[in-house]
Every structure is written in C-alpha cells, then in structure tokens.
Chain A
Amino acid sequence: MKIKSAIFGLICIKPYTIKSIVKRLPYAPVSIYNAIEEMLNEGKIYKIKTDGETRLDIPKKYMDQKRKDFFIKSLSYGIDPEIFLRENTLLVWNALDTSTTVKKITKKTKLSEKSVRKYLKFFADSELIKFEKKKPLIVAKIHNHPLVPLVTSMVKESDKTERMYSPGSSPFEEIITTPDEIEKILYEKIDDSVAIKKTGFFVKGKPGKISVLESVTSKQILEVIFLDKLMTPEGVEDSCIKILANKKIDFDMLLARAIEKNRINQVGCYLNILGDINKKLVPNEIIKKFHENISQKKYIFLKQEMKYGKSGWEQKYEKIWNVDLYLDIGAIEHGARGI
C-alpha cells in the first residue's frame, strides 16, 4: 500500500498524533512526515486538538467522510482501497454500468485491452463482479456488494435539482431532492439551521434562514412535486403559487398526472381559484381542459384543514369541481399577491 493511503487508513479509524503515526506505520519517518505535509496541503486530512494533543483527523465534509467510510469498508473486505480509487480503476468500474464485454469497455475507457483485463481481474478477485460468460468474456457488477453504494456515492454526479426563484426574502428555503443529495446538503449546511420533513430532525444553527429538506426516493418532475404539494396547506398557500408563477409547469403533463393520481377535481378547482385571483397564473383554456376530465367522485380538499371548517365562499367552486373544500382563500390570495 502506498504511504498516503496507509496514513489515511489509520486516521480513518481514529485521530492520531503525528508521533504515533510515525511509530506505528512501517515506513521511513521522513517519508511519513513528507506525506503528512502533502496530505495537509491537499486538505485530505486536518489537525485537531484533543486532550491537549494535536492529532490528525479526516475533514467533516461529505466527500471526505464518504472516502473514510469506503476505506474502512474496503479494508474490512480485504480490498486495497488505494487501487480501487485510482483514476483508471474507477474508469473501468463506471464503464461496467453500460458495457459488459472487454471490447466495449476498452472502447469506452480508451484503455488498452490488457489494462482492462487487469482491472477486471482486480474486481473479480475482490468479488465485486462476476463472469457471466468466459468466451467471449461477459462481466456484470455484483450490485449487492456493500462497497458498491459507497463507491457510487463518491463517483456519481449530483442530481441537478431544479431551481425556482421567487422575489422577496424568505426566512426559509425549501429543497425537495433525492436521499443522496440530502446527505450532501446535510454535510454542507450542518452549521446552519436544517430540518428534514417527516423525521422530526431539526437542528438550529447560525442565525439566519432554515433549510427545510424533503426527501424523495427519485428525482421528481415538477408536475409531480406540484401535485404532492397541493395536498398540504403550505403548498396550497405558497409553494404551488410560486411554481405556477415560474411558468415552468407543463399543464398537459400536470393533467395526465392528476388523472393518474385521481386528483383532477382538486387540481382543477385550485387552478380555477388561482385563475380567478390572478388570470396571468392560469390561462382559462387550461381550466376548461381540467373540467372536461372531472371525476364524478367527490373529494375532500384539504383534509388537514377540515377541523377549521368552511368560511362561506366555497360553494361556487364546490359545485363546479365536485369537491368538499377546506382552503383558506385569504391565505391563497396573500400568497398570490406576493409573486
């Protein structure tokens, strides 16, 4: 193992003083000192002070922590993490997602066939791939190997979260994204105020706004987010209005998804109300299209607010859209005025 990997591996388990590292690793002290200095400059490790001593530790950033987890797991499985994390090894590893033959992997990675075979052997010896056929060689990743998700989280490109802007300043920001992205955001924002919906997890940070994170299993299209938000008071009164104001919504897609989710009456009703408040937000023909697809079944809109009763304005929309309405019209108007 290369000296830097050995140092990293040791510090992964627990923070050590430089003196202990020199004492415990089988390398020349001067080489260890030089390697540590380089690693400190590269930001791969950092100095902390505990119990009156200066020790070396792994930075608390997302990628560093992932690398740490990977090192420990890799060593536990008898796989040299340093070899795995080399550029060309990862190149072949990533190519395995779409290519299964040596020829295709060679073409994709632009490495020599000899090198590709060498890396495939490394993966096979590590039980990370299996040979499905010998001649010609066809390989496949073993996806349930515990190292696979760790490598994926390190090499996968970020899911691009769609940004929506609204004027004014808000005491919070709302982020709906995948678990991987949430994990990254947690590392980035852990010193600020952060909450994760449906978990009760909330940490207060530096004075300022809260990031309200909502985890969704896979990246969702805007129309699906709109439909889900519409079933919540803050969605109806704020986020759905902002989504519509951003004019990125595809109404045909929204209609199709609303039919799929049996929410056509609620969505149509909401668009109708908003269109009456601000014609620019919802064109009339869209409301008509929704109405042509109305369901005969009566739906409650919005269940969470039922306990507060009705206010008297609802009847007109209830009749048109076959809904039992519990929205706060004043709050919706307030939301619409703010955009």
Chain B
Amino acid sequence: MNLEEYPEPIKKDIEDQSLSILEHIADDILVIGGWAVRALIGDKHGRYTLDIDGVTKQTTMKKVESILESLGMRERKSEWGVQFYQQYEANVKIPKEIQKEIDDLELRIEISGPRIKESQTAHYFEFSLTEVIGREIQYHEKKGKVKVNVPPVEHMTAVKLGLPVDYKNNFDSQVLLKICNIEKVIEIIKSNDDWSEMVLRRIPKLIGRLRDKERLEHLLAINNDINIKEHIKTMRHIENKLKTG
C-alpha cells in the first residue's frame, strides 16, 4: 500500500481553490492551524491540510458568513464553530481511478470564536485578535499571493504544545520551536487560562515520541534539521518553568 498525496496538479488545484476562497475573508479572520504554520514557516514546512481553520470575533462572524454564502458555500455546525463547505470541482484532469474519491471531496473552512477548547476537557486557549502578524501565501498556479493574518509564532507554538500529540501537531511544534522566543512562549502559555496544564500533560508524550527512533516524529525531526537533544532540552526547560509557576 502506498499512502500518498493526490497527484501534484490535483493537489495544487485543491490548495489554490481553498486559497482563493480564503482571499475573500482574509481581512476578517485570523488563520490558525496547519495553514498558519505553513504561512509562518514557508514552503519547507511541507504540510498543508485540506481544511482552513480560522478564528474571528462574534461580531464579524455574520459578515464572514454572508461572504462565504455568496461564494456558494454551505454551512454546518462543527465541534469548534461553523464549518463552511462546498464540493470541489476540479479544474484539472482527474485520473479515472480516483474520480470517485474526488467526487466526494469538499473544500472546507472552519471558523470559530478566538477561544479554542481542548477536546474532552474544559481547558482552552484564546487567540489574541489584536496581536497578529501579516503573512503571504503564494498560489501554486495562479499569479499572486494572499495576505493573511496569523498569530505570532510564539502564540502558535504555545497552542500547538498543548494540543493532542499526533505526528502533525508534534511536527508543527518542532518546526515552530526552532524559530521562536522560548521565554515568550512560556509567558503566553501561562497567561492562557490553565493551558499550562495541557502543555504539561502533553510534553512527556511529545518527548517520548520524538526520542523513539522508530517513530515518524523522530524521522521528520531529523529530516528537518532539528537537533533532537537540543529540542528535548528546550521542552524540558518549558516543562520546568511551567511547573514552578
């Protein structure tokens, strides 16, 4: 079995179409999740998610809703907020063998309030809607870039460190930690409700998975020129600082 991405032209078309939708609401939302990490890290991140995740003020939500509706997107309630979706219609040739899967594919944008809750717990992280930075995401086939607002790298790192320890979050936190101010990350974790409890819960697992030479996280870290020893040291430092309050 070969588990892989869609062929390059399809993948690029999906990403360009998602980006094109995002362009309409880019001023009204703060992009978070995989797309934000990509915007902060650049192309070497190599990880795009199908869904675009964003947060916004309750008062702006109506505006976003009407823009996305005017683009033909439908909406449904999601665990986090509202998911806007529309059927993907390919602008490129689709091989017969994947036509069925492509027919089921949706372009999705999920938008919620700035406070994101951790699954199965009452802990939350609240994104600042004022402390944001501008970044550009380049289209693949279309000329031009989309200007988006994303959280500063320290905020993104703080949230990623407290999220479930799957390879995606783990990989994102690895690449983010490399380029951020660690003390600022600690400060942000501490200032966010009891997010530090989530981070403290996740760190042993983050380290355990990173250390294990058989784990994907270990391979991804080496492939991204991350010094695993140093990285673990940094996480231990964060852990100690959070424990001592």
Report A's interface with B, CB cutoff 8 A.
161-177, 193, 195, 197-198, 200, 202, 204, 207-210, 212, 220, 222, 225, 233-234, 237-239, 242-243, 246-247, 307-308, 311-313, 328-331, 333-335, 337-339
Q: Identify 17 new A-B residue pairs, CB closer than 8 A, beyond the known A164-B1, A165-B6, A173-B4.
A: A161-B1, A164-B3, A165-B5, A165-B101, A169-B11, A170-B46, A171-B46, A171-B171, A195-B219, A204-B222, A209-B223, A210-B219, A234-B167, A243-B1, A307-B208, A312-B120, A331-B169
Q: Which of B105-123 contact A (CB under 8 A)?
A: 105, 118-121
Least distance between B85 CB and chain A CB atoms (Å): 13
Residues of A within 8 A of B219 (CB): 172, 195, 202, 210, 212
The answer to the question of B50 belonging to the interface, with a C-beta cut-off of 8 Å to chain A, is yes
Residues of B within 8 A of A207 (CB): 44
Q: 1/0 per residue B166-194: CB within 8 Å of A?
A: 11110100000000000000000000000
Residues of A within 8 A of B14 (CB): 167
The answer to the question of B214 belonging to the interface, with a C-beta cut-off of 8 Å to chain A, is yes
Residues of B within 8 A of A329 (CB): 119-120, 164
Residues of A within 8 A of B5 (CB): 165-170, 173
A225 close to B1 (CB less than 8 A): yes
Least distance between A179 CB and chain B CB atoms (Å): 15
A165 close to B98 (CB less than 8 A): yes
Q: Which of B17-51 contact A (CB under 8 A)?
A: 34, 44-51
B6 close to A167 (CB less than 8 A): yes
Report B's interface with A, CB cutoff 8 A.
1-6, 11, 14-15, 34, 44-51, 79, 97-98, 100-101, 105, 118-121, 163-169, 171, 204-205, 208-209, 213-216, 219-220, 222-224
Residues of A within 8 A of B45 (CB): 171
Separation of A202 and B121 alpha carbons in the complex (Å) = 38
10 nearest CB pairs, A to B: A330-B164, A331-B166, A167-B50, A331-B164, A169-B48, A171-B46, A174-B3, A237-B166, A330-B119, A168-B50
Residues of A within 8 A of B105 (CB): 167
A328 close to B4 (CB less than 8 A): no
Name which residue of chain A comes closest to B11, CB basis: A169
Residues of B within 8 A of A312 (CB): 120
Name which residue of chain A comes closest to B10, CB basis: A165
Residues of B within 8 A of A239 (CB): 3
**A197 and B214 contact, Cβ closer than 8 Å, known pairs A331-B164, A338-B51:** yes
Interface centre among A168, A175, A225, A311 (most CB of B within 10 A): A168
Residues of B within 8 A of A195 (CB): 219
Residues of B within 8 A of A246 (CB): 101
Least distance between B52 CB and chain A CB atoms (Å): 11
Which residue of B1, B47, B171 is within 8 Å of A168 (Cβ)?
A: B47
A–B Cβ pairs within 8 angstroms, 24 of them: A164-B4, A165-B5, A167-B50, A168-B48, A169-B15, A169-B47, A171-B171, A176-B1, A176-B2, A204-B222, A207-B44, A210-B219, A234-B215, A247-B101, A308-B208, A311-B121, A328-B205, A330-B119, A330-B120, A331-B166, A333-B79, A333-B164, A334-B163, A334-B168
Name which residue of chain B comes closest to A163, CB basis: B2
Separation of A242 and B171 alpha carbons in the complex (Å) = 19
A169 close to B2 (CB less than 8 A): no
Least distance between A292 CB and chain B CB atoms (Å): 28
B120 close to A308 (CB less than 8 A): no
Residues of A within 8 A of B44 (CB): 207
Residues of B within 8 A of A176 (CB): 1-2
**A308 and B205 contact, Cβ closer than 8 Å, known pairs A165-B4, A167-B50, A210-B223:** yes
Least distance between B163 CB and chain A CB atoms (Å): 7
Which residue of A165, A237, A330 is within 8 Å of B167 (Cβ)?
A: A237
Least distance between B110 CB and chain A CB atoms (Å): 8
A212 close to B216 (CB less than 8 A): yes
Residues of A within 8 A of B222 (CB): 202, 204
A169 close to B46 (CB less than 8 A): yes
Residues of B within 8 A of A225 (CB): 1
A173 close to B46 (CB less than 8 A): no
Separation of A174 and B120 alpha carbons in the complex (Å) = 30
Residues of A within 8 A of B79 (CB): 333
Residues of B within 8 A of A328 (CB): 164-166, 205
Name which residue of chain B comes closest to A307, CB basis: B208
Least distance between B98 CB and chain A CB atoms (Å): 6
A161 close to B164 (CB less than 8 A): no
Separation of A239 and B101 alpha carbons in the complex (Å) = 16
B47 close to A162 (CB less than 8 A): no
Separation of A297 and B163 alpha carbons in the complex (Å) = 33
B50 close to A162 (CB less than 8 A): no
Least distance between A226 CB and chain B CB atoms (Å): 9
